[in-house]
Amino acid sequence: MTPRERFLAACACEPLERPPVWIMRQAGRYLPEYRELKARHGFLKLVRTPELAAEVSMQPVRRFAFDAAILFSDILVIPEALGLGYAFRDEGGIAMEGRIAGRADVEALAGEGAVPDRLSYVAEALALLRRELAGTRAVLGFGGSPWTLATYMVEGGSSVDFGRVKSLFYDERATFDLLLGKLTRSLVAYFKMQIAAGADALQIFDTWGGVVAGPDYEAASLRWIRAIISEMPEGFPIIIYGKGTGSHLMDQAFTGARVLSVDGSVELAGVRRSLPGNVAVQGNLDPAILNTTPETARRETLRLLESVRGCRGHIFNLGHGILPQARIDCVEALVGAVTSWR
Ligand code: CP3
């Protein structure tokens, strides 16, 4: 069985000897070869140049026996394609090149028709990655959820309290819905393009889903995710990653997503037991464990694996993205523990 087959079998909740493994942000700053390429070209050039994006996506799978390679890109390419570019703040975090303050700003954004053209480099990068992997590992595409993208666009960048986007949601619902509808249609076009370019599965990052109050999660975020999934080919593997959305897992499970990626705030075994048997779970080791020692990384990886022994439908991953301080030998220990586990 190839790693790609193992990954797809886990998405389909088929029985496996051991779960497939990959980690969020596996192409990134903890890798010296990534830091070297980024110092030479800059982040945005890596994202926008198909050969470089494919190369960065390959870096982690050359080093580690991951079952999947995720395309190197960013969720913020969608706001950029609609007319709102992004950059990095010196002190860390994102600064958008402006912000959506009202209806006129939403109307001024490009429509979904702009997506295939402006983001053709993503399709090219995915096709290169797919060709290079030649069916050995699964190829993952991704995008942000409409809500998570809206937080960056309305706040003008990274946020602490999400005050502006919440005001829009609670006080100007028609404008909020107009923006989220536009993002939803753009993401549908974007995901269809990624599927056509060869993605085996797609992950929707709802990183900020947990900041909206429980009863409002549906109207602010989940209904838009559901609308996207309903436009995807029947049965195509869609993974929803939500941070802080552990109380909404059952609702997420009925969106048509095949996999729910859970953060470290929930107990994986309990989640696995309570969700429908045809929905897989992905997660959820604490990323900070990769900053400790290989012994600890191995021990905690085995502890998580044992907690779901005998369960179908588990993809091993972290509860959130790997940190820049992560140790290479800890990642090796994690991957070794998963791939040798029986
Ligand atoms: O997982 C992967 O290896 C694929 C690549 C990937 C990146 N961003 C590359 C990246 C993925 C899947 C993303 C998704 C993304 N981008 C999310 C959702 C996932 C999550 O972690 O919650 C979000 C919220 C963003 C927006 C974003 N881009 C942030 C908050 C940052 C960090 C800004 C900072 O403070 O440095 C980025 C930059 C970014 N995207 C980096 C990488 C590797 C780091 C940039 C660098 O090299 O300096």
Nearest CA residue ID for atom 41, ligand 1: 28
Q: 274: CA distance to ligand 1 center in Å?
A: 31
- Cα–Cα distance measured from residue 137 to residue 60, given in angstroms and rounded to the nearest whole number: 12
- Cα–Cα distance measured from residue 334 to residue 290, given in angstroms and rounded to the nearest whole number: 8
Tens of pLDDT, residue by residue over 45-77, are: 999 999 999 999 999 999 999 999 999 999 999
The pair of structure tokens assigned to 53 is: 């994006």
Tens of pLDDT, residue by residue over 312-332, are: 999 999 999 999 999 999 999
- Average pLDDT value for residue range 103-116: 97
| Helix or strand holding residue 316 (H, E) | strand 314-318
DSSP conformation class of 322? P
Q: 224: CA distance to ligand 1 center in Å?
A: 22
- The sign of the CA dihedral 270, 305, 300, 60 is negative
Q: 207: CA distance to ligand 1 center in Å?
A: 11
| pLDDT number for residue 279 | 98
Amino acid at 216: D
User: Is it the case that residue 90 has pLDDT exceeding 90?
Assistant: no
User: Is it the case that residue 32 has pLDDT exceeding 90?
Assistant: yes
pTM over 0.95: yes
| pLDDT number for residue 323 | 98
Residue that the structure tokens 């993002």 belong to: 183
Please, which pLDDT band fits residue 151 given cuts at 50, 70 and 90? very high
Nearest CA residue ID for atom 28, ligand 1: 74
User: Is it the case that residue 176 has pLDDT exceeding 90?
Assistant: yes
Give the residue from 62, 30, 70 showing the smallest Cα distance to 291. Answer: 30
With a pLDDT cut of 70, the percent of the chain lying above it is 100
Nearest CA residue ID for atom 32, ligand 1: 93
Of ligand 1's listed atoms, the one at least distance from the Cα of 142 is 12
Tens of pLDDT, residue by residue over 262-301, are: 999 999 999 999 999 999 999 999 999 999 999 999 999 9
Nearest CA residue ID for atom 34, ligand 1: 93
> Do 24 and 322 contact (CB within 8 A), yes or no?
yes
